[in-house]
Amino acid sequence: MPGNDARLGWLGTGRMGAAMAARLIDAGHRVTVWNRTKPKTAPLAARGATVAGRLTDLGGCDIVFVTVSGPADLAEVVMGEHGLLSGPRCPPVIVDCSTVSAETSAAVRAAARRAGAGFLAAPVSGNPHVVAEGGACVVASGPAEVFGRVRPYLEQIAKVAVYAGPEEQARLVKLCHNLYLGMMVQALVEVTSLAEKGGTDRAAFLTFLSGTVVGSDWVRKRSGDLAGCDWTPTFTTDLLRKDFDLGLAAARALEVPMPVGSLVHQLIQSAIGTGARGKDLLSLYEQQARNAALGPAAE
Amino acid sequence: MPGNDARLGWLGTGRMGAAMAARLIDAGHRVTVWNRTKPKTAPLAARGATVAGRLTDLGGCDIVFVTVSGPADLAEVVMGEHGLLSGPRCPPVIVDCSTVSAETSAAVRAAARRAGAGFLAAPVSGNPHVVAEGGACVVASGPAEVFGRVRPYLEQIAKVAVYAGPEEQARLVKLCHNLYLGMMVQALVEVTSLAEKGGTDRAAFLTFLSGTVVGSDWVRKRSGDLAGCDWTPTFTTDLLRKDFDLGLAAARALEVPMPVGSLVHQLIQSAIGTGARGKDLLSLYEQQARNAALGPAAE
Amino acid sequence: MPGNDARLGWLGTGRMGAAMAARLIDAGHRVTVWNRTKPKTAPLAARGATVAGRLTDLGGCDIVFVTVSGPADLAEVVMGEHGLLSGPRCPPVIVDCSTVSAETSAAVRAAARRAGAGFLAAPVSGNPHVVAEGGACVVASGPAEVFGRVRPYLEQIAKVAVYAGPEEQARLVKLCHNLYLGMMVQALVEVTSLAEKGGTDRAAFLTFLSGTVVGSDWVRKRSGDLAGCDWTPTFTTDLLRKDFDLGLAAARALEVPMPVGSLVHQLIQSAIGTGARGKDLLSLYEQQARNAALGPAAE
Amino acid sequence: MPGNDARLGWLGTGRMGAAMAARLIDAGHRVTVWNRTKPKTAPLAARGATVAGRLTDLGGCDIVFVTVSGPADLAEVVMGEHGLLSGPRCPPVIVDCSTVSAETSAAVRAAARRAGAGFLAAPVSGNPHVVAEGGACVVASGPAEVFGRVRPYLEQIAKVAVYAGPEEQARLVKLCHNLYLGMMVQALVEVTSLAEKGGTDRAAFLTFLSGTVVGSDWVRKRSGDLAGCDWTPTFTTDLLRKDFDLGLAAARALEVPMPVGSLVHQLIQSAIGTGARGKDLLSLYEQQARNAALGPAAE
């Protein structure tokens, strides 16, 4: 029963999933939730959600959203022995909002299709806090008709819900986002070190840059960390490199040259080779400052 | 007479100057304005400004702001035969809010110093519309004490007023801003073409990217032009290349490596060599799309 | 029976194999040859070689050299149903002088080891003409003791026979060679176009560069083609790209940054995207000349 | 008196000049030499040269070759108060074989032209030892007719004498040569570190590469230094950077993109920033090895 009044299921109520499901519940939708460790569903139950006894009970919903922590989990909760497709009823639509590879996505999609379910890959940009405030963005791919049915709900979850294409395009778009982030960070550390060696205080420079039209929320939020050389991990150089590995492999397959993307990939590799492994991606500054002979990066 | 009640002068009331001066007038300050073509001062007079008969009359102000269209104009209105420093009285503080080279800035600063005036280089980021709405950013350099006197006024003109150092640092910071913009645009066209060749609609991709934490006002504002392949000039590839020429020369002098900045410089050069001269910097997309064999850039 | 008087087998007497085997025969060694199309063994027989009736007859040799045209052929002639390892006797040493991937090499090596044969990967640099004149270079990897036994023969085949390590290192060294070649060609087209736009005749420039200490045989041999914009394939952009794919993947796996290698990879990709597919790698000049607005590349 | 029997003058008999002049004397030409410190002319006198009493005595020659140590010296010995052009007679042709900037070259050329002398810029590639063995290369620019007169002598001095154009092209060609060298060295250290991290001995790899068609005399000669991490200066990173400064400035002026050249410029800058200042250009390996986490570059 589609439309704006579908019965919704939510599989996986970790921090992200809970924040997203909460927005649907608060908007008045009927949401049935399930989580491997049941106590995590309590806050949503308090908010009005029904808690499913078994994962397969979600098969009775019109649309089941999935938010799990990676490809192996996604495969298991959908295609596994006790997964969503193993139950007596299969939901007509499954929407995966996790961050998984295009390969896993395609495999799960194929399994869903064989079981008669439409599958939407719908990764989310934004952390739980951003989601809660309605500031998240979703990019979705799968059959256009499936997107049409899910769209009203995505738009309640996020401020932007974009359709990227009929297959795994949403995964590539997410990689593009992270490639762009990596390039932006390298650009940032280059100009920051230049201004700094020219005599401008790092924090002052970042305040200026953040305030102008080229400033982004990301730069604004992280300026303090960069100014203070705080490399506490939020997104490590290694994870960033992995996204560059995947993104550049996709570019190669599609025969799209990525001159700057590719150079940044190598610079990340150099940074990892000289001590940035496991540090936040902002630590690209350390390599840049060292190469610019800027003296101790952090006083 | 310093403090928040200084007599202010405004030399040059073109679109940017008028928007900036208006903010000071509207805040209740006494502002005397002068412009080569007098009629352009009328709107400010109507707003409450005094109109000076001769440029040198501004010599009686405590602080004179200058907004002219380039280095030659700045040199003339300050150091020229009939310039500000040629009059019977020299203002104690001159603040240049134009965009000029570090060389011109240093020459004007030296001339001002000889005449007993403190000089602040204070380029602005933002167009007249942004200025009027209070969204501009100013970065200033010159003697710290001079910045201290001018700061309250800069903060009424702009939302951010940052101190960059005792000499021409503000000019370098402005170049850093434009280097960052250039790198951002190249990053943008790389990921856009990748998403596009993967099957995602260009406009949809840009909507998503603009919405996330990596989105900037600049990208949001220009997404439509990029989606529609509209290269009507706002900032041409040639002017961008000039800023890269200057910024990379400064980096070389300071011995700061700019691996990505330098590569983008070369890519801008390639774009100019293959037809992007005089087009908007977003036309870097054309080169990228051609190299990716994306077919006609604009359908 | 090792030493300098082993019974040698030669499997595959195409142009390269024949040239290499001929050097051993001419040096007085006993060589038994086999080829899928028997007539191709005639010139070697005339030179003194014994022609084997069946491939597996080579099993009686002390050392069997293999020169076939690619990984599938290597796998078949060694591990296939009627391959070298299928016979009643297995030669103690197999030396593969073909150009195959590290994966195939490792698989064949493992099969040989199980059958009790030592395996040497020994790709060759040089064409049949160079081999005949004694100018080839061999890089070999496998057990050091096996290399020791084969070395005297390799040194009769080639002017240089280098030991690269105990496993598939020789394959990586060959890729390194081709990465270096690709970078050299891009460097070449950059400086050639610069000299040319400065007013120097392309052929004159190449004559000068070829004559100096930085000149290589490759550049000397190909200068005429570059001067004349003759892109008749000797080594196509696509094949070069494939070697960059493999070489850069190896670099990634080993965590070795390749800033220039990676940029050249992207430039090859751009060239392919704009028409260089299937052309000789020297056609990288076309892209460079176009980006430099050098006018018609070839008059 | 042109032709093959001109009276030749040689101004500056340092190591390079002496080696070049000796080849002309040994070929039977009449050569008059002059040097600031007269004793340095003795070996040439012993070989058959006439020693001029005053620099201006060379004015009586048909062609005067100049080999001095830099632009200031060239300007002085030609245009200075007691220089070649100050004497009673001006030679019809002056050939400068020093390495100087295009600016100085143009200034000296203009002065010579005003005095009625044809000027040829003719920098040499090769050290005194190479020159003595007849292995040097000369690239010359100036009026074609002047080149025609000088060519027979250049061809006795060097194995290759190339005409680059009517003005300062020879200077640019020399810069192109050094840009190519710098790119080749970076390419070399990338592939060397890759082979090495893959398990191949550095010296073995370089022996292989040097032996193949991509090997150059330069690489062959310097392989031992690279294998042994001997950075005793032959051509320092700083001097190389200076040539990249000049070469890339020329490329910018001519609007020729240099993607790899420009990246190598930045890598040289990074190397200098991290300790390679004053070391041989081969020390680019240190940076590469560090970024590849290759452990102590030299054991």
Put simply, the answer to whether B245 touches D252 (Cβ < 8 Å) is: yes
Put simply, the answer to whether A266 touches C273 (Cβ < 8 Å) is: no
The set of chains that have 3 or more CB pairs under 8 A with D is A, B, C
Considering only alpha carbons, which residue of chain B is nearest residue C294?
A: B273
Distance CA A168, CA D145 (A): 68
Q: What's C26's DSSP letter?
A: H
Query: Residue C4's pLDDT is what?
Result: 65
The shortest C-alpha distance from D87 to chain C (Å) reads 34
DSSP C111-147: HHHHTT-EEEE--EES-HHHHHTT--EEEEES-HHHH
**Does C257 reach chain A within 8 Å, measured CB to CB?**
yes
* C-alpha pair distances (Å), A41 with each of A14, A26, A55, C244, D207: 9, 15, 13, 50, 66
Distance CA C155, CA C161 (A): 6
> What's the average model confidence in pLDDT over B194-200?
98
pLDDT tens digits, one per residue of B70-93: 899 999 999 999 999 999 999 999
Put simply, the answer to whether D255 touches C292 (Cβ < 8 Å) is: yes
DSSP B28-39: T--EEEE-SSGG
Mean pLDDT across chain C, nearest whole number?
95
The set of chains that have 3 or more CB pairs under 8 A with B is A, C, D
pTM: 0.95
Residue C298 has pLDDT above 70, yes or no: no
Considering only alpha carbons, which residue of chain C is nearest residue D218?
A: C213
Cβ(D222)–Cβ(C226) below 8 Å: no
Considering only alpha carbons, which residue of chain B is nearest residue D277?
A: B255
User: What is the band of C296 on the pLDDT scale with cuts at 50, 70, 90?
Assistant: low
Bridge partners (DSSP) of residue B161 are B138
Reduced to 3 states, what is the DSSP secondary structure of residue D76?
Answer: helix
Mean pLDDT across chain A, nearest whole number?
95
Contacts of C278 by beta carbon, 8 Å cutoff, 6+ apart: C233, C236, C237, C238
Tell me which of A179, A183, A252, A264 to substitute to probe the interface with C (most C C-beta atoms closer than 10 Å).
A252
Interface predicted TM-score of the whole assembly (ipTM), two decimals: 0.95
Query: Residue D299's pLDDT is what?
Result: 40
Q: For strand B93-96 and strand B50-51, is the pairing parallel, antiparallel, or unpaired?
A: unpaired
- Contacts across the A-D interface (CB distance below 8 Å): 20
Query: Residue D5's pLDDT is what?
Result: 82
Give me the sign of the Cα torsion angle B9, B11, B14, B16. negative
| Of residues C256, C266, C272, nearest to A262 (C-beta) | C266
Which residues of chain C neighbour B293 with C-beta distances below 8 Å?
A: 273-274
The set of chains that have 3 or more CB pairs under 8 A with C is A, B, D
The shortest C-alpha distance from B22 to chain D (Å) reads 42
Distance CA B147, CA B152 (A): 9
| Of residues C183, C204, C247, nearest to D162 (C-beta) | C204
CA-derived radius of gyration, chain A: 21
pLDDT tens digits, one per residue of C155-173: 999 999 999 999 999 999 9
| Of residues C164, C197, C211, nearest to D160 (C-beta) | C211
Which residues of chain C neighbour B273 with C-beta distances below 8 Å?
A: 290-293
Between positions 144 and 163 of C, the ones with CB within 8 A of D are 159-160, 162-163
Q: For strand B124-125 and strand B137-141, is the pairing parallel, antiparallel, or unpaired?
A: antiparallel
Put simply, the answer to whether B255 touches D267 (Cβ < 8 Å) is: no
| Of residues B255, B257, B270, nearest to D257 (C-beta) | B270
The answer for C270, left when phi > 0, alpha when psi is -120 to 50, beta otherwise, is: alpha
**Does A260 reach chain D within 8 Å, measured CB to CB?**
no
**Does A234 reach chain D within 8 Å, measured CB to CB?**
no
Put simply, the answer to whether A259 touches C267 (Cβ < 8 Å) is: yes
Report mean pLDDT in 10-residue bins for chain D, 299 residues: 76 97 97 96 97 96 96 96 95 95 95 97 95 97 98 97 98 98 98 98 98 96 97 96 97 98 98 97 98 72
User: What is the band of C136 on the pLDDT scale with cuts at 50, 70, 90?
Assistant: very high
Put simply, the answer to whether B255 touches D273 (Cβ < 8 Å) is: yes
Q: Is B137 exposed, middle or buried (CB count within 10 Å of its CB: 0-12, 13-18, 19+)?
A: buried
Residue B297 has pLDDT above 50, yes or no: no
**Does C255 reach chain D within 8 Å, measured CB to CB?**
yes
The shortest C-alpha distance from A8 to chain C (Å) reads 44
Residue B298 has pLDDT above 70, yes or no: no
Structure tokens at D220: 């062959």
Put simply, the answer to whether C214 touches D164 (Cβ < 8 Å) is: no
Helix D237-254 vs helix D169-197: crossing angle, to nearest 10: 120
Put simply, the answer to whether D166 touches C256 (Cβ < 8 Å) is: no
**Does C291 reach chain A within 8 Å, measured CB to CB?**
no
Put simply, the answer to whether C266 touches A259 (Cβ < 8 Å) is: yes
User: What is the band of A54 on the pLDDT scale with cuts at 50, 70, 90?
Assistant: very high
**Does B269 reach chain C within 8 Å, measured CB to CB?**
yes
pLDDT tens digits, one per residue of A258-268: 999 999 999 99
The shortest C-alpha distance from D185 to chain C (Å) reads 10
Which residues of chain C neighbour D250 with C-beta distances below 8 Å?
A: 194, 198
The set of chains that have 3 or more CB pairs under 8 A with A is B, C, D
| Of residues B159, B160, B165, nearest to A200 (C-beta) | B165
Maximum distance among all Cα pairs of chain C, rounded to whole angstroms: 69
pLDDT tens digits, one per residue of A231-241: 999 999 999 99
Cβ atoms < 10 Å from Cβ of B6: 20
Which residues of chain D neighbour A259 with C-beta distances below 8 Å?
A: 259
Put simply, the answer to whether A257 touches C245 (Cβ < 8 Å) is: no
Tell me which of A127, A137, A180 to substitute to probe the interface with B (most B C-beta atoms closer than 10 Å).
A180
Which residues of chain C neighbour D164 with C-beta distances below 8 Å?
A: 195, 199-201, 204-205, 208
CA nearest to B186, candidates B69, B281, B71, B63: B281
**Does C142 reach chain D within 8 Å, measured CB to CB?**
no
pLDDT tens digits, one per residue of A88-102: 999 999 999 998 999
Cβ(D219)–Cβ(C217) below 8 Å: no
DSSP C229-295: T----SSBHHHHHHHHHHHHHHHHHHT---HHHHHHHHHHHHHIIIIITTSBGGGHHHHHHHHTT-S
> What's the average model confidence in pLDDT over C30-52?
97
Put simply, the answer to whether D270 touches A259 (Cβ < 8 Å) is: no
Q: What are phi and psi of D51, to 5 degrees?
A: -105, 125
Which residues of chain D neighbour B256 with C-beta distances below 8 Å?
A: 269, 273
CA nearest to B259, candidates C187, C291, C267, A260: A260
CA nearest to A205, candidates B150, B177, B215: B177
Which residues of chain D neighbour A290 with C-beta distances below 8 Å?
A: 273-274
Put simply, the answer to whether A274 touches D259 (Cβ < 8 Å) is: no
Residue B299 has pLDDT above 90, yes or no: no
Tell me which of C265, C274, C290 to substitute to probe the interface with B (most B C-beta atoms closer than 10 Å).
C274
Put simply, the answer to whether C274 touches B263 (Cβ < 8 Å) is: no
| Of residues B263, B273, B292, nearest to C292 (C-beta) | B273
Which residues of chain A neighbour C259 with C-beta distances below 8 Å?
A: 263, 266-267, 270
DSSP A28-52: T--EEEE-SSGGGGHHHHHHTPEEP
Tell me which of A183, A245, A269, A284 to substitute to probe the interface with C (most C C-beta atoms closer than 10 Å).
A269
Put simply, the answer to whether A274 touches D293 (Cβ < 8 Å) is: yes
